[in-house]
Amino acid sequence: MQNRHLELSQVGIDFPTPKGPFTALTDVNLKIKKGEFISLIGHSGCGKSTVLNIVAGLHQATNGGVILDGCEVKEPGPERAVVFQNHSLLPWLSVYKNVELAVKQTQKGKSKKDTRDWILHNLELVHMTHALDKLPSEISGGMKQRVGIARALAMEPKVLLMDEPFGALDALTRAHLQDSLMDIHAELGNTVIMITHDVDEAVLLSDRIVMMTNGPSATIGEVLEVNLPRPRDRLVLADNPEYNHYRHEVLTFLYEKQKKVEPVSNYKKTKQKNASKDSDAA
């Protein structure tokens, strides 16, 4: 039963184009245990987001399907809450109201006091209770992402889906939020699927790292089990040979086995991206 919490079987998706269907994904098979933290990593354009969107129900798989606790995923729903890359808070609602919308919608039976307590509890988890009445435009990017996570958690999701949640943040803020996320995961034990570009992030946070091959027709290339004891501390791990071994595995997959050949126009951009990545790693 434990092994059958979330199951992706033979998932594939075709997008219609004027030149005929474009196969973005094929044969994605993945079984996820309850409470497991999964990272999806791969080069841009490999369909990581598509996998996440299929699990979220925002995209419909052309082949295969997703089963969560014995029910097939057909449409989006709060039990599969999504944290979007660009926070996607409603800009006209305050921090509190943004979370309130989610709570009121998903837990309609709650009394007024319970609703308020639950909203505050979730904002407390991400340390955002000091900015309840601020609009999203009045807080920093990192704070917005925290509120986005609080909103997702407030839906009491079975699975938390995170689409590069920290991709747009600076390295320090990112590290901070990663620590927060580890604490929250330790406390609540949600199942998490997170997309990332960041090898360190993947190794630090995950129980398993799912590495994807390049598209078109992308699929799962390798799955790496990360058997580092929790709680994990980034400072201690920095010199840990096991940790560095895992990092090396992922880097080898990304830059040797699935080396991405970009068209010339994109070359510069990729170079810059890699450069910033290297400096992060250092």
Partner 1 sequence: MSKSVQAISQIGQLDGKSKITQLVSMLPKLLMPLVGILLFLAVWNGVSKSIDTSLGQFPGPAQVWEQSIVLVSEHNTQREKAEAFYERQEVRNAKRLAQDESYVPKIREFTGAPTFFDQIWTSLYTVMVGFFIASVIAVPAGILCGLSKSAYAAMNPLIQIFKPVSPLAWLPLVTMVVSALYVSNDPMFSKSFITSAVTVSLCCLWPTLVNTAVGVSNIDSDLVNVSKVLRLTPLKHVQKIVLPASIPMIFTGLRLSLGIGWMVLIAAEMLAQNPGLGKFVWDEFQNGSSESLARIMVAVITIGIIGFMLDRLMLAVQRFASWDKNSVLR
What three-state secondary structure class fits 228? coil
CB of 76 to partner 1, least distance (A): 4
Token couple for 282: 């250092």
Residues that bind partner 1 (CB under 8 A): 56-58, 75-78, 80-82, 84, 86, 88, 90-92, 101-102, 105-106, 135, 137, 155
CB of 40 to partner 1, least distance (A): 18
Find how far residue 165's CA is from the centre of its chain: 6
Q: Which of 41/102 has CB closer to partner 1?
A: 102
Identify whether the C-beta of residue 180 lies closer than 8 Å to the C-beta of residue 146.
yes
CB of 152 to partner 1, least distance (A): 9
Q: Which of 152/250 has CB closer to partner 1?
A: 152
CB of 84 to partner 1, least distance (A): 5
Q: How far is CA 135 from CA 131, 138, 145, 153, 170, in A?
A: 9, 5, 13, 20, 21
CB of 67 to partner 1, least distance (A): 19
CB of 199 to partner 1, least distance (A): 26
Q: Which of 161/181 has CB closer to partner 1?
A: 161
Alpha-carbon distance 32 to 26, whole Å? Answer: 18
Q: Which of 98/258 has CB closer to partner 1?
A: 98
Q: Which of 101/175 has CB closer to partner 1?
A: 101
